Structure 1
Amino acid sequence: MEMASEVVRLIAVRDVALSVDEVFEAVGDATAGGTALFVGTVRNHDGGAAVDRLGYSCHPTAEEEMRRVAEKVVAEYPVRALAAVHRVGDLDVGDLAVIVAVSCPHRAEAFAACRKLIDDLKHEVPIWKHQHFSDGTEEWVGAC
């Protein structure tokens, strides 16, 4: 069995535009029959309010925490390869905020592992979202 460090192929927090192609390529594996990829984008609304832009910031341990979450997913599912990247800094509506991907022997496992990965990243990794609304108000949102 592969070590988690070999299966977790890409973990990053970046202040530059994210690449779906890079993440997809990172999880390519000849033993995997299913690859699931999730892309989180900045939407133009939240809770009925119009959003103009977002700012993401993170704790210095964010990448370390992302790796911990990723290794937990690898331990729970038959993951062949996993990748996760999150953006920080100022983002506009439509920008990519997070991309995660998982490849597994079968599609059901890939879907389940990918969902677990994004859900746990959102709840456990210290990345915070600062929303700027069209009416001039703003709001900080906890772990993203």
Structure 2
Amino acid sequence: MTPIVRIQREDFDLAAEIATLSAGRRDIGAVVSFTGLCRDEGGTLAALELEHYPGMAEAEIARVAEHAAARWPLLGLLAIHRYGRVAPGEQIVLVIATSAHRRAAFEAADFMMDYLKTRAPFWKREHLIDGRIGGWVEAKGEDDDAARRWE
């Protein structure tokens, strides 16, 4: 099983991605997905700008996805992360893990999201509703705590 990693500007379709990942498979007993959306931060956010280094980001996320594939008995793993301007309510990230049994799929998806939230090579900057450009967004302490449980 080779994980699929895509970094793209355009939106994604959850149902289509699940259908593609599980097409023709009769051994899959569990499909776990997580879709992260852009929040409006209490009505102050007009958009979130996501930047990355092409090539480097894909390689690093693929490396972590390979680690997940080695750690859990997965039948499929997909990670999609968007870049560019994303408005509140729009999708930012998708992780899908498939396996014969639910536990492996849940844990692998959770592991991937903890990594993507804290260590993936993306930079996020807020564009505020009043026209100001905010600062670069840092990972939160509770996100770092969640990621440490996989060490």
TM-score, scaled to structure 2: 0.81
- Once the two structures are superposed, residues 29-51 of structure 1 have per-residue CA deviations (whole angstroms, 9 ceiling, x without a partner) of 32121110000111111xx6721
- Once the two structures are superposed, residues 50-77 of structure 1 have per-residue CA deviations (whole angstroms, 9 ceiling, x without a partner) of 2111111002201111110100100111
Alignment of 1:1-144 (within 5 A): 6-8=1-3, 10-28=4-22, 29-45=25-41, 50-60=44-54, 61-135=56-130, 136-142=132-138
For the Cα contact (< 8 Å) 1:39–1:96, is it kept in 2?
yes
TM-score, scaled to structure 1: 0.85
Superposed displacement of residue 23, structure 1: 2.4
Secondary structure of the residue aligned to 1:31 is coil
- Once the two structures are superposed, residues 122-141 of structure 1 have per-residue CA deviations (whole angstroms, 9 ceiling, x without a partner) of 22220111112234351212
For the aligned residue pairs, the C-alpha RMSD in angstroms reads 1.9
Partner of 2:144: none
For the Cα contact (< 8 Å) 2:124–2:137, is it kept in 1?
yes
CA–CA separation in structure 1 for the residues paired with 2:88 and 2:62: 27
Which sections of structure 2, spanning at least 5 residues, go unmatched? 141-151
For the Cα contact (< 8 Å) 2:125–2:133, is it kept in 1?
no
Secondary structure of the residue aligned to 2:36 is strand
1:68 is aligned with what amino acid? Answer: R
Q: Closer, same or farther in 2 for the Cα pair 1:56/1:137, shift >3 Å? A: closer
1:134 is aligned with what amino acid? Answer: I
- Once the two structures are superposed, residues 5-29 of structure 1 have per-residue CA deviations (whole angstroms, 9 ceiling, x without a partner) of x331x21100112221332124313
Indicate the percent of aligned positions where both proteins have the same amino acid.
Answer: 29
CA–CA separation in structure 1 for the residues paired with 2:125 and 2:26: 40
Secondary structure of the residue aligned to 1:73 is helix
CA–CA separation in structure 2 for the residues paired with 1:59 and 1:142: 17
- Once the two structures are superposed, residues 92-126 of structure 1 have per-residue CA deviations (whole angstroms, 9 ceiling, x without a partner) of 11111011100011112211111001111222220
